[in-house]
């Protein structure tokens, strides 16, 4: 599969992604059985993960979005920009942040700080993918899907320069 100047090859199959999502959903169903959490999906990358995850939940939830940007091409810029969101009142709410991927940890750290200012009762993080070798800031990930090495991936919501989000599988750069 080619996007602009780069070639990508299949890396994580659709059924493996869906199994990981189901097990996160089951854990959330169990942990929040008597609560009504506010799910906040981090756009753009987490839109597919959020959509599939939410369909597997059997508890009542609220859903909201925040849009941030930190990647340029295939590299994290290290700086995070909030583009919109977090306008909903969160005081006293149990918030679950839905991320597509945790890489350096800057995005999650930035969002946690913003969320804390709104005085929620609790904050937890669910990430579909996680690159432990790329982490620069310790991140407390309560719900972790699939660990991957420090490689660049696209598909299932994740882009390369704006393209490649529509695929049901995850692809990585060809060697």
Q: Are 45 and 100 in contact (CB under 8 A)?
A: yes
Nearer to ligand 5GP, 28 or 158 (CB): 158
For residue 45, state whether it binds ligand 5GP (rule: CB under 6 A): yes
Among the options 52, 94, 100, 103, which is catalytic? 103
**Closest approach of ligand 5GP to the CB of residue 27, in Å:** 21
Binding of residue 152 to ligand 5GP (CB under 6 A): yes
Tell which one of 23, 64, 70, 124 touches ligand 5GP (CB under 6 A).
Answer: 70
Binding of residue 82 to ligand 5GP (CB under 6 A): no
With contact defined as beta carbons under 8 Å apart, do 40 and 98 qualify?
Answer: yes
Return the residue of 41, 98, 141, 153 that touches ligand 5GP, per CB under 6 A: 153
The angle at the Cα of 27, spanning 26 to 29, to the nearest 5 degrees, equals: 60
| Residue with smaller CB distance to ligand 5GP, 24 or 158 | 158
170 binds ligand 5GP (CB under 6 A): no
Q: Is residue 158 close enough to count as binding ligand 5GP by CB under 6 A? A: yes
Q: Is 103 near ligand 5GP (CB under 6 A)?
A: yes
**By the rule CB under 6 A, 104 interacts with ligand 5GP:** yes
Smallest distance, ligand 5GP to C-beta of residue 146, A: 12
Check: CB of residue 64 under 8 Å from CB of residue 46.
no
User: Residue 103 catalytic?
Assistant: yes
Report CA Rg, the chain.
16
Long-range contacts of 153-157, Cβ-Cβ distance < 8 Å, separation of 24 or more = 153/11, 153/12, 153/101, 153/129, 154/3, 154/8, 155/8, 156/17, 156/48, 156/49, 156/100, 156/128, 157/44, 157/45, 157/46, 157/47, 157/48, 157/49, 157/100
């Amino acid at each position: 599969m080619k996007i602009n100047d780069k070639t990508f090859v299949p890396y994580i199959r659709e059924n493996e992604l869906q199994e990981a999502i189901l097990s996160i959903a089951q854990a959330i169903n169990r942990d929040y059985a008597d609560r009504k959490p506010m799910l906040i999906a981090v756009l753009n990358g987490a839109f597919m993960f959020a959509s599939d995850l939410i369909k597997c939940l059997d508890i009542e939830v609220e859903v909201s979005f925040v849009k941030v940007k930190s990647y340029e091409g295939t590299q994290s810029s290290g700086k995070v920009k909030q583009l919109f969101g977090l306008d909903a009142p969160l005081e006293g709410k149990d918030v679950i942040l839905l991320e597509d991927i945790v890489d350096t940890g800057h995005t999650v750290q930035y969002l946690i700080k913003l969320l804390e200012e709104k005085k929620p009762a609790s904050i937890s993080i669910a990430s579909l993918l996680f690159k432990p070798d790329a982490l620069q800031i310790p991140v407390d990930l309560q719900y972790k899907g699939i660990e991957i090495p420090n490689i660049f991936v696209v598909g299932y919501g994740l882009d390369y320069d704006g393209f490649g989000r529509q695929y049901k599988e995850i692809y990585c750069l060809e060697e």
